Structure 1
Amino acid sequence: MDESGTVMHLLVRTMTLESEGVLSVILEDPGGGPLPDWEQGAHLELELGGLPRHYSLCGTPGDSRRYRIAVLRDPGSRGGSAHVHEMLRPGHLVTARGPRNRFPLVAAERYLFIAGGIGITPLLPMIAAVEAAGVPWRLAYGGRRRASMAFQAELAAYGDAVTLLPEDELGRMDLDALLGTPDAATAVYCCGPEGLLAAVEEACAAWPEGSLHVERFAAAPRAEVDAGEEREFEVECRQSDVRVTVPRDQPVIDALEAAGVWVASACREGICGSCETKVIEGEPDHRDSLLTDQERVTGATMMPCVSRSFSDRLVLDL
């Protein structure tokens, strides 16, 4: 898999309305060549109207000729989804980076997939892989209304393993029924709006560590930190032999860039993982929405776009 962020120029081959407000987009190499490999859970970064945006790959990992993404028409869009729905058309070229994967499918005896709205997209390739392997699984797929829930025809092929839960017909998803009994043999995968993710995380609090896997489209809410409580600290870039003082009111990544140290970045919100950096020394103050609790305790990497430092000095592999 290509984790380098190498720039690609992809051709929009087709665009299909999958439900109210959801367009799927097929992307190909303009010359018909093979695309970088990817695995279940990977996402692609697209530059849309000058804005980097991340979309889960929801096609077939073994298909090296095309990528499929799906984009929700978000009324609160800052430009990405509006650009896709209003301006992008078959025949256009888009700039892309990736694929990258911070949501990999792990081995398990059973799987429970929980999707909310457009959160179904990263789960589709996982479901196909698990079904092909003959491993037991089930999907609870919620949406505001049936007409807004994409890929229903595709999911219908799986029969009773899939439960559609349109909220206007059946009410909110019963997470107590789904997650009330912890099961060490089951991996739980969830993607959707923040309200669903937070509720699933709370419901899985009693499950064995590592059972729950989530992917966010937006940063998780963080406790507000008073600007006066922020601290200044030093960052040493070991490879570049650069030392920089990070002021209390400046993100680490901005201080590094001002000192001439370039860090790959896209979201600047701690959700895409493109800026993940190895920590050689020091104790990061993790404020991202990606790392697991164990990864935070280990402190081997950090996201300098949002995270800071508990220690007076951080040494980064940059």
Structure 2
Amino acid sequence: MTLMSARDVAGLRVQSKNVAAEGVVVVELAAADGGRLKDWTPGSHIDLVLPNGMTRQYSLCGDRWDPRRYRLGVLREPFGRGGSAYVHDELDVGDLVGVGGPRNNFPLVPSPEYLFVAGGIGITPLLPMVRQAELLGARWRLLYGGRTRAGMAFLDDLDAYGDRVEARPQDEHGLLDLPGFLGDPRSGVKVYACGPTPLLDAIERVCAQWPPHTLRTERFVGDDSAEPARAAPFEVELARAGVSVTVPTEASVLDVLAEAGVDVLSSCRQGTCGTCETTVLAGRPEHRDAILEDRERAADDCMFVCVSRSLSDRLVLDL
């Protein structure tokens, strides 16, 4: 597990910015000197450090074989924390931004067949997956929904795939017919879904009878509905720093680390982006993220310090 710090943030320049759909802009980034960017794989995202100091994460939706450009699709979030509004209203071509990553918490694993389901801006991580599946000669289909056709980005990109792509705006077709699209449970298929919480909750219910590990999802928000399992404060030992801190019930591990002067890069603060992933050397973390699968949680060798807490009196972190 690799912890990202401010030292890992590269400075890139906004090369282009264009409207892709109602409420969606596409931003392309390149190195200021035209140099090669870090390689990435389908499902990857970057942390975008904006000129106003905000950090937000966005999926890479361009050509993974293009070594000199990153492409992002950014939805304006009217009730967000201001990052998407800044990208839409303030970010200009030529501006310098910080970029952390890429990292991949949503990797495309080998399979003879894929079923992709996208809701709204959830299409962004699936675009490179579709291209990869096509390149590998795998069987695949994509179901893409949105409130209106005008608000669904990248439809022109998807036209080339013909009837393997089903675009279903809600105002024309109603809610997505997930059972009809997925069909009967079977082996040899991987289902990838990204979109708003109601869509992902629905597809999890539909896939409950499928073979284990068939479904892989990426969520925009974490699940903080449940109360923490431990109400009492706990100690966190920073192994490399040689100090210990106490995490009270009303603060996150990330907040306490910041107060102690420990540099941990973070972005979403909701347990969805993976930016603050930290190696756990001892103790039992209480995983409250939306990233790790069950078997990864059982290993207890990492945690996302923006939301996760502790089941034990003491955690030892590789910091």
Normalising by structure 2, we get a TM-score of: 0.93
Q: What residue number does 1:87 align with? A: 90
Q: Is it true that 1:171 corresponds to 2:174 in the alignment? A: yes
What's the secondary structure of 1:204's corresponding residue? helix
Determine the C-alpha separation between the residues in 2 that align with 1:310 and 1:119: 33
Is 2:74 the partner of 1:65?
A: no
Structure 2 vs 1, CA of residues 76 and 260 (structure 1 numbering), >3 Å: closer, same or farther? closer
Q: Following the alignment from structure 2 to structure 1, what is the Cα–Cα distance between the partners of residues 218 and 279?
A: 21
Aligned-partner Cα distance in 2 for 1:74–1:251: 25
How far apart are the structure 2 equivalents of 1:186 and 1:270? 27
The alignment status of 1:263 with 2:269, answered yes or no, reads no
Are 1:55 and 2:55 counterparts? no
Q: 1:107 to 1:63 in 2, by over 3 A?
A: same
2:289 matched to 1:306? no
Listed as ranges, the matches of 1:167-246 within 5 Å are 167-179=170-182, 181-225=184-228, 230-246=231-247
Q: Deviations over 1:141-161 (max 9, x none)?
A: 001111111111110100111
Q: Tell me, which stretches of 5 or more residues in structure 2 are unaligned?
A: none
Pick aligned residue for 1:24 from 19, 23, 26 = 26
Give the partner amino acid of 1:289: A
Taking only aligned residues, the RMSD between alpha carbons, in angstroms, comes to 1.8
1:118 and 2:126 aligned = no
Of 27, 35, 38, the match for 1:36: 38
Shift of 1:72: 1.1
Alignment partner of 1:152 is 2:155: yes
- Report the Cα distance in structure 2 between the residues aligned to 1:46 and 1:93, rounded to whole angstroms: 11
- How far, CA to CA, are the matches of 1:111 and 1:158 in structure 2? 14
CA distance in 1, matches of 2:303, 2:211: 25
Cα distance in structure 2, aligned partners of 1:234 and 1:78: 31
2:28 and 2:71 in contact (8 A); partners too = yes
Partner letter of residue 310 of structure 1? L
Q: Of the candidates 107, 114, 133, which is equivalent to residue 110 of structure 2?
A: 107
C-alpha contact (below 8 Å) 1:3/1:99 kept by paired residues: no
**Contact persistence 2:3–2:277 (CA under 8 A):** no
Tell me by how many angstroms 1:85 deviates. Answer: 1.3
* Unaligned residue ranges in structure 1 (runs of 5+): none
Q: Deviations over 1:203-231 (max 9, x none)?
A: 222222221111122223532459xx611
Kept in 2: contact 1:218–1:271 (CA 8 A): yes
**Offset at 1:68?**
0.5
Q: Give me the whole-angstrom Cα distance separating, in 1, the residues matched to 2:18 and 2:133.
A: 26
Shift of 1:244: 2.0
Q: CA deviation at 1:181?
A: 2.2
Q: Normalized against structure 1, the TM-score is what?
A: 0.94
Q: Tell me, what secondary structure is at the counterpart of 2:25?
A: strand
- For residues 225-265 of structure 1, what are the alpha-carbon distances to aligned partners after superposition, in whole Å with 9 as ceiling and x for unaligned? 59xx6112222222222222222222112223333433232
Aligned-pair identity (%): 52
How far apart are the structure 2 equivalents of 1:149 and 1:41?
19
SS of aligned partner of 1:44: strand
Q: CA deviation at 1:3?
A: 7.8
2: CA distance, partners of 1:180 / 1:158: 21
Structure 2 residue 292 is matched with structure 1 residue 291: yes
The structure with higher relative contact order (CA 8 Å, sep 6+) is: 2
Is contact 1:141–1:162 with CA below 8 Å preserved after alignment? Answer: yes
| 1:316 match | 317
Name segments (4+ residues, structure 1) moved above 6 Å: none
Change (3 A) 1:37 1:92: same
Instruction: Name the SS for the 1:197 alignment partner.
Output: helix
Q: Structure 2: which amino acid aligns with 1:203? A: V
Q: How much has 1:290 moved relative to structure 2?
A: 0.9
Q: Is the 8 A contact 1:189 1:213 kept in 2?
A: yes
Aligned residues: 315
- Distance (whole Å) between structure 1 residues aligned to residue 260 and residue 18 of structure 2: 45
Q: Give the secondary structure class of the aligned counterpart of 2:208.
A: coil
Letter in 1 for 2:272: I
| Other structure's SS at 2:99 match | strand
Q: Hey, what's the Cα distance between the residues in 1 that align with 2:243 and 2:186?
A: 48
Question: Which residues in structure 2 correspond to 1:243-254 (within 5 Å)?
Answer: 243-254=244-255
Q: Contact between 1:26 and 1:67, CA under 8 Å: does it hold in 2?
A: yes
Provide the rounded CA distance (Å) in 2 between the counterparts of 1:14 and 1:253: 34
